[in-house]
Amino acid sequence: MDEYRAYHKELALTALGEQLSDIPMGRLIQFQNVFEKELDKFKGTYLEYRNGKTTVEAVIDEYERFCAVVEYFDNILKENSEDDKYEIPGLADEDVFANCVTVDVDETDINKYYESLEYIFRCFECLVRYARKIIDKNDKTLMNVLSFELGLHNVYTNGLIEFFREQNKNASDM
């Protein structure tokens, strides 16, 4: 497990591309920006895949980098948070969260996975907007909730990516 964490930390710091700030608020801002950049790259690679311009392996690789950044951003948020609060005011009212498309564990229709991943992208984009507000206000209570939301959506995204990985493996075995 330590090797996994070290590998993901290295991926996240590589994505940062600059010296990690010594100031907690500086790290938050740095990783907020890296999170946005990696989300755009992950989404872009996925759209290229859907348009037949790249492979599922490229999507999986891009997700690995994105996942590492989300995990590191999540850890920085936890380091700077206080108190337990269970929701971000207004987040549940956002259309993307109210109408999120989820996939059942036994689902086999790949189009439903595509649709769900596209909704997850919109959820992450919404979280980006809320992250900016929370970090700008230095709201330590909401940083904890943001951390939870990022982790929750990352775990769900991982399940979708695992399905794509398995589909790709099955296709290459034929």
Give the model confidence (pLDDT) of 76-98 as tens digits. 888 888 766 667 777 777 776 66
Determine whether 106 is exposed, middle or buried from the number of CB atoms within 10 Å of its CB (0-12, 13-18, 19+): exposed
pLDDT of 86: 64
Question: Measured between alpha carbons, how far is 60 from 46 in angstroms, rounded to an integer?
Answer: 9
The residue that leads in pLDDT, 99 or 35, is 35
Per-residue pLDDT reduced to its tens digit, 138-170: 988 888 889 989 999 999 999 999 999 998 888
Per-residue pLDDT reduced to its tens digit, 8-61: 778 787 887 888 888 888 989 998 999 999 999 999 999 999 999 999 999 999
Alpha helices in the chain (DSSP H): 2-16, 24-50, 56-80, 95-98, 110-136, 140-173
pLDDT of 85: 63
pLDDT of 50: 94
pLDDT of 44: 97
pLDDT of 64: 94
According to DSSP, residue 21 is labeled P
Token reading at 72: 């590191």
